């Protein structure tokens, strides 16, 4: 009986604590955890600080730059999409919560009670909201975990003087797809942005929006910390592609192949897909960004599996084209090996100092020559009928990551992804119809040459068919 009384007393005390705190930062219980405690391999606070310092060096004299967190997005009625942070905001702060903004000044500013060269405004803790939607970090814990010295509740910004009047320019990134919220307060992104525009009388004078250019310069070169997370995301994606090759049968549907892929993602700790998984078979293999994923594989054709796991913000992008039956037909093999030849040459061209577009130039030439030789086109300049997209893009916090598209330098991570798509009704022999092939790998530029980060998943006909043997 005494044990039961003690247990009941403990539970009453615990519940009282949970439901009664005002500033919840002060609560210290065994349950006072967050995502920074569950996972130990996030980017370090020092990384984010170094990125802010690097951005500050790029700012013009007498200026500041402002970034907002992503708004929350409604899906339907009272259901919201799973929250995903603005990559620029995350890159600079490490904070994964909404309703926040950061101001980074070129020089230290003197405010009413303190001086600093950066200010973070963020949501406070709230017991009732956290009970339903999960724990928030709160101002004090962000100071401790993310090492940002000056942090204020977002509600304070309405009355705060950010000293914009004394600056020559204030650059900013407009929040993407702003939610409709009460802008009389600043406890949401819409309110923060509204009051920011009211406090920034010089913003409209800036003819050139340099925030995108500056962030592209920084984000296009990956640090070792970033590469650690990017390699993790790519390794997970390669494992998913390999599992798909081993488990697929031509009695499945596209959505069942998607289920295999995304199960492996979650099993290995990926928080999201970096983009909606593309599982296009047969005629759908010729649709570049097909995501419906409903067709039965028994109707024949190749499967283009273009997928990417996102791990701690960094996303992979790996495409494999496989025959659900386990064997390529004669025509499928011919087209596949032409794309593979073009891709291999494109990867070899991804070297330090090369024009960003060089892998695409090389790959396009090989595909044009190959299609001409097969009689699928009559002139090389018709190649875009069947290879209509670019060959490379940057990869990182976004699947199409920020970058300047200038000559390649060590630390760039790019894709090399040529393809051939011969849709039904094309102006060629019908034996080629509904053959779509894309092969995509993630390539790190190094002083020693290109490193294929996604080589863990096979891409030759022999290797794929061998792995698919039942």
**Residues annotated catalytic, as ranges:** 78, 289, 306, 317, 389, 393, 400, 417, 421, 438, 440
CB 93 within 8 A of CB 120: yes
| Rounded (5°) CA angle 373-443-241 | 80
Q: Is 206 exposed, middle or buried (0-12, 13-18, 19+ CB in 10 A)?
A: middle
* CA 271 – CA 394 distance, rounded (Å): 21
The stretches of 315-439 forming alpha helices (DSSP H) are: 330-348, 358-374
3-state SS, residue 243: helix
Contact predicate 336/461, CB 8 Å: yes
Residues 214 and 64 sit within 8 Å (Cβ to Cβ): no
The SS3 call for residue 158 is helix
Nearest CA-CA partner of 173 in 405, 394, 402, 399: 402
Name the strand (E) or helix (H) holding 308: none
Coil vs helix vs strand at 314: strand
Beta bridge partners of 279: 305
Q: How many CB atoms lie within 10 A of CB 459?
A: 22
- HSE of 297, CA atoms in CB hemisphere, 13 A: 22
Cα–Cα distance measured from residue 456 to residue 239, given in angstroms and rounded to the nearest whole number: 8
Q: Are 415 and 392 in contact (CB under 8 A)?
A: yes
């Amino acid at each position: 009986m005494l044990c039961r009384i003690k247990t009941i007393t403990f539970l009453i005390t615990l519940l009282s604590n949970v439901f009664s705190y005002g500033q919840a930062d002060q609560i210290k219980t065994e349950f006072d955890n967050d995502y920074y405690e569950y996972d130990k391999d996030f980017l370090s606070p020092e990384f984010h600080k170094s990125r802010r310092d690097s951005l500050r060096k790029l700012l013009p004299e007498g200026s500041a730059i402002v970034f907002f967190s992503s708004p929350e997005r409604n899906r339907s009625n009272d259901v919201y999409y799973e929250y995903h942070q603005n990559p620029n905001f995350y890159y600079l702060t490490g904070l994964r919560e909404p309703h926040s903004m950061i101001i980074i000044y070129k020089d230290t500013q003197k405010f009413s009670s303190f001086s600093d060269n950066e200010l973070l405004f963020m949501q406070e803790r709230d017991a009732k909201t956290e009970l339903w939607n999960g724990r928030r970090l709160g101002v004090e814990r962000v100071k401790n975990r993310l090492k940002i010295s000056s942090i204020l509740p977002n509600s304070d910004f309405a009355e705060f003087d950010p000293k914009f009047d004394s600056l020559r320019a204030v650059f900013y990134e407009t929040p993407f797809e702003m939610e409709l919220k009460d802008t009389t307060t600043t406890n949401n992104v819409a309110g923060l942005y509204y009051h920011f525009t009211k406090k920034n009388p010089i913003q409209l004078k800036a003819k050139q929006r340099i925030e995108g250019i500056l962030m592209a310069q920084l984000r296009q070169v990956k640090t070792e910390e970033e590469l650690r997370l990017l390699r993790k995301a790519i390794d997970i994606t390669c494992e998913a592609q390999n599992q798909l090759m081993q488990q697929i049968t031509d009695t499945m549907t596209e959505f069942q192949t998607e289920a295999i892929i995304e199960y492996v993602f979650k099993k290995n700790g990926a928080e999201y897909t970096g983009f909606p998984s593309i599982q296009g078979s047969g005629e759908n293999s010729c649709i570049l960004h097909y995501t419906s994923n409903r067709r039965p594989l028994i109707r024949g054709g190749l499967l283009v599996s273009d997928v990417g796991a996102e791990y701690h913000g960094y996303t992979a992008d790996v495409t494999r084209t496989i025959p659900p039956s386990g064997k390529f037909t004669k025509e499928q093999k011919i087209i596949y090996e032409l794309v593979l030849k073009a891709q291999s040459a494109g990867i070899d061209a991804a070297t330090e100092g090369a024009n960003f577009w060089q892998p695409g130039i090389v790959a396009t030439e090989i595909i044009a020559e190959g299609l001409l030789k097969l009689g699928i086109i009559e002139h090389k300049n018709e190649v875009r009928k069947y290879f209509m997209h670019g060959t490379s893009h940057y990869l990182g916090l976004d699947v199409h990551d920020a970058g300047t598209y200038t000559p390649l330098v060590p630390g760039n991570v790019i894709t090399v992804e040529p393809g051939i798509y011969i849709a039904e009704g094309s102006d060629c022999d019908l034996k080629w119809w509904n053959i779509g092939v894309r092969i995509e790998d993630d390539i790190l530029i190094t002083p020693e040459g290109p490193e294929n980060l996604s080589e863990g998943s096979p891409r030759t006909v022999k290797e794929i068919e061998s792995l698919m043997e039942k």
